[in-house]
Structure 1
Amino acid sequence: MQARLVEPYLERVDSRGQIAEAFARSASKQAVLQDADARNGRTYSGPILAVTKHHVLQKTGDALYEIHDRSLAAANDLEPGKDGTIAYAFHKGKIVTPDIKAAISFARDPPEVALGTHPQLAGAYAAIAAIEHQAKADGLTPQQRAVVLAAATRHIVKAIERGEIAETNVTTEVDATRDTSLDR
């Protein structure tokens, strides 16, 4: 029983030590290291300097560094040396990835706005249009179509969040009939 409690605690202490060492290597003497405030609505942007199993070190100002607890963040990969945004929402940290931004835009914005910033969503909009067309062809009432489209939209938003964005294949139907009146 003691091992189940002590080992995770020691791992977190070691992780915190690794972050402190990374801070000492990266920061000036005037720099400030603090725990990130994980309250709802807080967002931090800046270069990721170190990542351990339990913590993330991020530079958020000229001389300001934040330690993020990864148990409060989504299970997305952060890479040292790259910029990252960590947003805390609903008291549970969530790392905002490009896929999550695209999913939010798909769910909230008009198509022309979402496609302007996330052109990869064209396939998702094509899927919704196809579902709507099929629902009409199947003779569903407007209320039934609304239920079907809401469910399809929720499903597509979840897929976009996972990085599963539908691709489009644009095809054009061509009338292959031949006008034989012009033949000699």
Structure 2
Amino acid sequence: MLRRFPPGVDVEACISLECLVRLKDIALHRARVGHPVLAARALLLLRVLLKLFRGRVTDVSQYCPALLMLSVSSLKSSTPLLQMASCKLLQCLLPVAHANDILASFSESQEVLFSIALGDTTSDALLYLSLETYSEWISCCHSVSKCVAAPGSHSRLFQCWMGHIRDPHMGELVVLMFRELITDINDG
């Protein structure tokens, strides 16, 4: 729908920031009443709208705390599609959210992200996405504070790597994550 706007039309004038709030409410409601596919679609549309509004005069940072909370609660879903949509929304939120909001929501979500990565039924795409999200998130947290990683993060990351040791791309991602975790320990 958004791609079908004719060139030159101000999309922001057509779509208000109230859409963000409504979509957030829809996603929360659908996730609670057992419609994870609809909740995932709402999260993905939220991501598209955030990308549209980012870099314009509109300040979306005021909505970030609620959207971070929504994303973290959606990560806890047992539906991979909703988990994936949540990770993608989180990656879009991290550059625009206030650092303290990012830090506050990280402690709750890091265990969920590792649970997803270590899941027996987790697809490769969701595995990479959850680890990339964790890496970006802890990097953002380090701009505010060190020692934010959970005590067992190193061993959980090592477990994940051992489960996918034959995947050469996993090695690169794990090295990046270990760098963040080592920074977390040494500077704390």
Calculate the TM-score normalised by the size of structure 2.
0.26
More helix, by proportion: 2
More strand, by proportion: 1
Calculate the TM-score normalised by the size of structure 1.
0.26
